[in-house]
Chain A
């Protein structure tokens, strides 16, 4: 089984950035809170080595001294001594196992906590650059692998080494000639392990590639199953799957062919060692230069020797995989959040006016590629501002900058005259809430979700808001009303309903400024009207910025901003803009044009 872990991990193990030394230094730092436990483990280890050496030695004494002398009392005493040593050994082993496994448990707990906290402190860009699934595997499986191989693994390996050295020393003390003969197999074992390890790693790398091909094939054809069935393509999908399925199975069988040989060969080597001891020991017994008991003790020591060696070999074989895991973990732990609160950052007061001003704001995700160019705009307290423009005009970026998901490349954004960079992020985001296009519900009840940002809000208030935006009737139809679970496997809610929940949640958080970034894209037009009417009431004294595609929904805003290519090209009320030559008017013409055609027909 010694090779199993090589199954995990990815090809990233091939391109590591940190050296083994740097990596181990970091692991040691992670282990440093456990100094006391580590010391205790070491003490128990030494004690355990002694007891495990004593057992076979007592047996050898019985065989060589008490049996030939027919000393029944002596035999009995030695057996009692053996029992005593065994109990001692049991206690020590139990305690040591307990401490080591708990060390592992603590290590895993701590590391997961550190990772999770770190992830939530990182800025937007980090999440845009990393897939969620990838991050989850870091926190789950990589932490396990690092613990198994590098943390408790390392501690176990050191214990194993101590045991080996102790046993070897005692063997030399008993009979150095026999001892040296026993040690012959060590290099052989090392070579065998190394050889198989290298081959197995290669084979397992292949199985990993094949299994991920298989998984993505399955994922794809299951996600797209409705299209597949609609177009009658099941057979084709099944054939495709059969291909990857076969390839994966043969890669596993290939790996099996290699690893199946490992244990038998190790057994041969081990038996070869036993045989050497028996043969040369036998010769010595015949010559009268050694005793049967000693030879017997050696046979036992050799078996005790092997277990730790196999263990170390396993760690060695899995080191590369684990190192890659560790490196990915450290990459996260050492990532710098792009946006940090400056030292003199302030908390916003309870009441703010909600004025936002953009002064010469430009922004580029990648150097030189400007998504926003020289934006100058002041949103007055309580104003209802709408932003329209084609996909890619920079609307969402402007929204993201307003809650400081990113900092402007040039220029300043101010809230009530204060530079956003001088406000604590949390304080800012309690007052200025962005509702993104992708709605998200957390597992729990509907009520939990609605109260997510503001758990103190009373139920009546939640119900009032839901009534206003037309969500109440929908919720009432669910089996348990507001207490319906909407976790996985719970009831189905459409993405439009999720968007409504997300909006209600934002309003219940009681912000001073609300930004809706296409937050109703999956809501049908008649419902959207209802929500808009409601928003007018609900956001009466709040500054509101709405980004929308449907022109009908922006029409009644206090002011409409038209963006194109990262710039503001027009602004004014609906009526004003319609009278102006420009994008807005053209947009309306297209919209209306389509309908006029109908009239003509």
Chain B
């Protein structure tokens, strides 16, 4: 029954299964060793009861001391052989499974690193991390334990059956009578318990989510005094988990001991029937005892069948999730004949570019030209497509239609490594790695000398700040080190970009909110960064916009207007609305001064 279901689910999930086979095949030698040792170990355990039978019948019943000693020694040998092979089996499976997990994790990591931004937009880091840890672990666990157990169960079953048949057909049949009943009970148990288990899993997920949310939002919960609300919310989930757990333990405590009862009943049958055979002097008592032991060998694995099945299903589900990631075709493809441009001038052009993240187009037929060395400001209301324009230049995404050109070459014809070396991005939110400040600045150029790093930091107006930290450039950033303000982070990002000496700089400065003191420092840093390079800047800073060689005004995914500040200020209502307030202030403060 379960086997058919399993086979069906295997076919349904063929792709993950096939991928998994590839990983398995890599370690075939180890598997061969495992298979061989499994046969040895199963044979040793099947011979055990046979030897004990002889100890009873030939040694005790016939009161023969030599026979007794002989079989006891045989038992010792068997045990040692069995244990050594058990050790090898256990070690080899775990060696196998850990290597397999390692390979899986590595390939997964490599595959994730090669995905485009579109992939990261829709995946959460926590989820990806759990793919790499718990899902891989699920698969490892299957090979660790389930595979070993399944193999030894099947082998023991076959070998025990063969031994029993040669010993006594009638008793074999009596023993086998337990099997269908057991299978039925196991089947019923699984049918009852698996929905409950899924339910519990779900609820544990909910509990975790509620907990996470409620604790992460503690500041708001406190600020709004909604502790009771949170407590009730948590209690509801907690209680519903409790109820599901009650259900599970009910099913479990009815069915699992029940298999024990079946064993006992068949055992009683065996003793009764075997006893009659003994009384009729057809067999000796040791044989009955041996059969009782064989029955135990049978039943153990059958009892675990459901568990095995669950394990296998879970491993396949996990594998499917992994192959989903590995096969997800959200990469930025590089043409085999992709080129580099040795004498790059730094011209950037959008030619009828449209782009959509999902269904709604974010950019509609955008065209503009930025000449080498020009500083261009991109302005517009929220959601007008400014950041998307920036993202298309270094190919974080590919255009849906149209072309992005650098020095008149389509960016899709350029080598990716070249493109991203000549284009530097200073994003809106600066991500810093939890290492030293030095390593963060040198991120794009690992072999940078200390002088270069300091020069970049000075140009970015962050050197003095860094020097004030207790460990200077070796100060750790983040949880275990200093917390940097938004302005400081931004300047580190600028230093980072400066160090790689790009031709084209893309800067997203749209929401920067820093105290005014830092404002002028950043201004200076920016001037340094942009010097002699082509620059595209998203900004709402009046001074930057006024300085720009050209302003691209975006609105609802289209280019509304292109021009200098004064032109646009006169011409465009939208543009005025964006900057009028800042202009007023400027005028006002000049009056005061």
Which of chain B's residues have a CB closer than 8 A to the CB of A509? 224
Over the window 474-492 of chain A, the binary record of Cβ atoms lying under 8 Å from chain B Cβ atoms (1 yes, 0 no) is 0000000000000111001
Q: From A242, A390, A588, give the contact of B589 (CB < 8 A).
A: A588
In angstroms, how far is the closest chain B Cβ from the Cβ of A551? 6
Q: Which of A136, A246, A523 lies at the interface centre, i.e. has the most chain B CB atoms within 10 A of its CB? A: A136
- Residue positions of B touching A, CB distance < 8 A: 48, 52, 55-56, 59-61, 63-65, 68-69, 72, 75-76, 79-80, 82-84, 86-87, 90-91, 94-95, 98-99, 101-102, 105-106, 109-110, 112-114, 117, 120-121, 124-125, 128-129, 132-133, 145, 204, 207-209, 211-227, 230-231, 234-235, 238-239, 241-242, 245-246, 249-250, 252-254, 256-258, 260-261, 264-265, 267-268, 271-272, 275-276, 278-279, 285, 289, 381-382, 394, 396, 416-417, 420-421, 424-425, 427, 431, 433-434, 443-444, 446, 479, 485-486, 496, 500, 510-511, 513-517, 519-520, 523, 540, 542-543, 546-547, 577-578, 581-582, 585-586, 589-590, 592-593
Q: Across the A-B interface, give the 6 residue pairs with the lowest CB-CB distance, nearest first.
A: A256-B94, A86-B264, A429-B225, A101-B249, A260-B90, A98-B253
In the complex the two chains form, is A436's CB within 8 Å of B223's CB? yes
Residue among B224, B427, B540 making CB contact with A506, cutoff 8 Å: B224
Known contacts A83-B268, A524-B510: A275-B577 contact under CB 8 Å: no
Interface-central residue, A279, A509, A521, by most chain B CB under 10 Å = A279
- The answer to whether A82 touches B268, judged by C-beta atoms less than 8 angstroms apart, is yes
Stretch from A22-30, A218-226, A379-387, A536-544 at the B interface: A218-226
User: B184 to chain A: closest CB distance in Å?
Assistant: 17
Q: Name the residue on B nearest A267 (C-beta).
A: B83
Assuming the contacts A256-B94, A260-B91, A594-B543, asked whether A72 and B279 have C-beta atoms less than 8 A apart, the reply is: yes
Would you list which residues of chain A between 86 and 102 have a CB under 8 Å from chain B?
86-87, 89-90, 93-95, 97-98, 101-102
A502 at the interface (CB under 8 A from B): yes
Could you tell me if A230 and B394 are in contact, using CB atoms closer than 8 angstroms?
yes
> For residue B381, which residues in chain A have a CB less than 8 angstroms away from its CB?
526
Interface assignment of A426: CB less than 8 Å from any CB of chain B? yes
A132–B216 CB distance below 8 A: yes
A76 at the interface (CB under 8 A from B): yes
Q: Would you call A116 an interface residue if the criterion is a C-beta within 8 Å of the partner chain's C-beta atoms? A: yes
* Nearest CB of A to B191, in Å: 19
> B500 near A245 (CB under 8 angstroms)?
no
User: Which one of A105-113, A186-194, A305-313, A353-361 is at the interface?
Assistant: A105-113
Knowing A233-B443, A286-B60, A506-B224, say if A75 contacts B276 (CB, 8 Å).
yes
Q: Is the CB of A256 within 8 A of B219?
A: no
- Which listed segment binds B: A8-16, A120-128, A160-168, A364-372? A120-128
Of A94, A211, A506, which is within 8 A of B253 by CB? A94
Determine if A459 is an interface residue (Cβ-Cβ < 8 Å): no
Decide: A488 and B124 in contact? CB cutoff 8 A: yes
Q: A521-B513, A595-B543 are in contact. Are A119 and B582 (CB under 8 A)?
A: no
Least CB separation from A427: chain B residue? B225
Instruction: Specify the chain A residue showing the minimal Cβ separation from B427.
Output: A226
Contact B216 A90 (CB under 8 A): no
B79, A271: Cβ atoms under 8 Å? yes
CB pair A222–B129 under 8 Å, yes or no, is yes
Q: Which residue of B lies closest to A59 (CB)?
A: B271
- A83 lies within 8 A of B443 (CB): no
A278 within 8 A of B: yes
Size bracket of the A interface? 35 or more
Which of B425, B434, B585 makes the CB contact (< 8 A) with A230?
A: B425
Q: Please report the C-alpha to C-alpha distance between residue A124 and residue B220 in the assembled complex, in whole angstroms.
A: 11
Contact between chains at A226 and B260 (CB < 8 Å): no
Query: Which residues does chain A contribute within 8 Å of B425, judged by CB atoms?
Result: 230
Contacts of B234 in A (CB 8 A): 113, 116
Additional A-B contacts beyond A67-B278, A226-B117, A267-B82 (20; CB < 8 A): A67-B279, A86-B261, A94-B258, A105-B246, A106-B242, A218-B132, A221-B113, A224-B433, A230-B394, A231-B500, A233-B444, A245-B105, A282-B68, A438-B219, A442-B217, A526-B578, A549-B513, A549-B515, A592-B589, A598-B543
User: With A75-B276, A267-B82 as given contacts, are A140 and B208 in contact (CB-CB < 8 Å)?
Assistant: yes
Q: Kindly identify which residue among A102, A236, A264 contacts B87, using a CB–CB cutoff of 8 Å.
A: A264
Contacts of B420 in A (CB 8 A): 229-232
Closest Cβ of chain B to A106, distance in Å, is: 7
- Chain A residues near B75: list those with CB within 8 A: 271, 274-275, 278
Does the CB pair B546–A595 fall under 8 Å? yes
Q: Are B59 and A286 in contact (CB under 8 A)?
A: yes
Q: Which of A53-90 contact B (CB under 8 A)?
A: 55, 59, 62-63, 66-67, 70, 72, 75-76, 79, 82-83, 86-87, 89-90
Q: How far is the CA of A59 from the CA of B293 in the complex (A)?
A: 13
Q: Are A220 and B433 interface neighbours, CB within 8 A?
A: yes
A590 touches B60 (CB 8 A): no
- Residues from chain A with a CB closer than 8 A to the CB of B61 are 292
Q: Is the CB of B581 within 8 A of A525?
A: yes
**B215: which A residues are within 8 A, CB to CB?**
119, 127, 132, 135-136
Q: Contact: A453 with B216, CB < 8 Å?
A: no
Min Cβ gap A347→B in Å is 12
User: Is A169 positioned at the interface, with any CB of B under 8 Å from its CB?
Assistant: no
User: Are B117 and A282 interface neighbours, CB within 8 A?
Assistant: no
The winner among A121, A219, A551, A594 for most chain B CB atoms within 10 A is A594
Q: Mark A125-169, 1 if CB is under 8 A from B, else 0.
A: 001000110011001100000000000000000000000000000
Query: How many whole Å from B544's CB to the nearest CB in chain A?
Result: 9
Interfacial chain B residues near A590, Cβ < 8 Å: 516-517, 519-520
- Picked from B65, B120, B382, the residue with its CB within 8 Å of the CB of A524 is B382
Query: A63: which B residues are within 8 A, CB to CB?
Result: 285
Q: Which residues of B contact A261 (CB under 8 A)?
A: 87
Which residues of A sit under 8 angstroms from B208, Cβ to Cβ? 136, 140
By a CB distance below 8 angstroms, the chain B residues around A140 are 204, 207-208, 211
Verify B519–A127 contact, CB threshold 8 A.
Answer: no
- Complex formed: what's the CA distance from A579 to B124 in Å? 51
Q: Which listed residue (A127, A256, A505, A529) contacts B218, Cβ 8 A? A: A127
CB atoms of A241 and B94 under 8 A apart = no
Distance A124 CA – B218 CA, assembled complex (angstroms) = 9
A-B contact list, 15 entries, CB within 8 Å: A86-B267, A136-B212, A218-B128, A222-B112, A225-B113, A263-B90, A281-B60, A436-B223, A442-B213, A521-B511, A529-B581, A588-B516, A590-B519, A592-B589, A595-B546
Closest Cβ of chain B: how far from A284's Cβ, in Å? 9
Asked if residues B515 and A391 are in contact (CB atoms below 8 Å), the reply is: yes
Task: Give the most central of B121, B223, B500: most A CB within 10 Å.
Answer: B223
Query: Are A116 and B231 interface neighbours, CB within 8 A?
Result: yes
Complex contact B540–A524 (CB within 8 A):
yes
Considering only residues 262-279 of chain A, those with a C-beta below 8 Å from chain B are: 263-265, 267-268, 271-272, 274-275, 278-279
Asked if B260 contacts A90 (CB within 8 A), the reply is: yes
* Complex interface: chain A residues within 8 A of B112 (CB): 222, 225
Query: What's the Cα separation between A135 and B86 when bound, in Å?
Result: 41
Residues of B within 8 A of A42 (CB): none
For the complex, give the distance between the alpha carbons of A225 and B331 in Å.
Answer: 13
Q: For B223, give its contact among A67, A215, A259, A435 (CB under 8 Å).
A: A435
Chain A nearest CB: distance from B519 CB in Å? 7
CA of A484 to CA of B128, assembled, Å? 25
Q: Contact at B257–A429, with CB atoms within 8 Å?
A: no
Chain B CB within 8 A of A2 CB: no
Which residues in B have their C-beta under 8 angstroms from that of A249? Answer: 98-99, 101-102
Contacts of B516 in A (CB 8 A): 549, 551, 587-588, 590-591
User: Shortest beta-carbon distance, A464 to chain B, in Å?
Assistant: 20
Complex contacts, A132 vs chain B, CB 8 Å: 212, 215-216, 218
- Give A246 to B106 CA distance when docked, in angstroms: 9
Chain A's closest residue to B204 (CB) is A140
Count chain B CB atoms within 10 A of each CB in A222, A252, A425, A496 and give the residue with the most.
Answer: A222
Instruction: Please tell me if the beta carbons of B128 and A121 are within 8 angstroms of each other in the complex.
Output: no
Contact A105 B125 (CB under 8 A): no
Please name all residues of chain B whose beta carbon is closer than 8 Å to the beta carbon of A281 when the two chains form the complex.
60
Q: What CA separation (Å) do A117 and B577 show in the bound complex? A: 50
